[in-house]
Chains A and B, each alone.
Chain A
């Protein structure tokens, strides 16, 4: 079946460092791809999405490009802030709104 694999965390960075969180997927067909973020004590929030190959999703300085040839959707940010500390989930949509999630990657940013 469809699946999503994320790098294990935690990822620990200093403020203003460059961030990459790797995400690869296995899917039949052409899924939509998502990044969700979960801040402490809150529900998951949609961070960005891409619906077809070569699309780039972006939001709040975060970017991810749908790479069909490498089945990847890596999350990047050029300069992280302490407020970016959270758990990040990569996910794909199988259609009919069904989401398949990765295990999540915790990001810790220190001042």
Chain B
């Protein structure tokens, strides 16, 4: 099946610094990628949807200047958490879809971000 990777799997950073998380589709072209955030014992919350070559669409309540998403190629999307603070600590998960009209998303293993 389709494989999606994320890097890094874990990251610890100091408050005020920026962190970049990569999401790659390894064996298919992902025209659409999604970024989710998961809190302990909570469901995955969709943060934003990005289509290759265009600006991401953010969900209500998600700060687009804080969570920068780039989807510059059909196999790579990045999420940058800018000026991170402890409340940004969470599990971030990406998913990728092979094309419009398909509703199957392939998920990455997630990235655990801890901000000190």
Residues of B whose CB lies within 8 Å of any CB of A are: 1, 4, 6, 32, 34, 41-44, 46, 49, 93, 95, 97, 102-110
Whole-angstrom distance between the Cβ of A21 and the nearest chain B Cβ: 14
Partner of B49, one of A43, A93, A98, A101: A98
CB–CB A89/B46 < 8 A:
no
CB–CB A104/B109 < 8 A:
no
CA distance A1 to B49 in the complex (A): 18
CA distance A96 to B90 in the complex (A): 26
CA distance A49 to B6 in the complex (A): 25
CB–CB B43/A43 < 8 A:
no
User: How many A residues face the partner with a CB closer than 8 A?
Assistant: 21
Q: Among residues 35 to 49 in chain A, which have CB atoms less than 8 Å away from a CB atom of chain B?
A: 36, 41-46, 49
CB–CB B43/A4 < 8 A:
yes
Indicate whether A99 sits within 8 Å of B41 (C-beta atoms), given known contacts A43-B108, A43-B109, A93-B103.
Answer: no
Residues on the A chain within 8 Å of B108, using CB = 43
Residue of A with least CB distance to B100: A97
Residue of A44, A89, A100, A102 contacting most chain B CB atoms (<10 Å): A44
Residues on the B chain within 8 Å of A32, using CB = 103
Residues on the A chain within 8 Å of B41, using CB = 103
Indicate whether A104 sits within 8 Å of B103 (C-beta atoms), given known contacts A97-B49, A97-B97, A98-B49.
Answer: no
Indicate whether A97 sits within 8 Å of B32 (C-beta atoms), given known contacts A89-B44, A102-B43, A104-B43.
Answer: yes
Residues 48-67 of chain A, each 1 if its beta carbon lies under 8 Å from chain B, else 0: 01000000000000000000
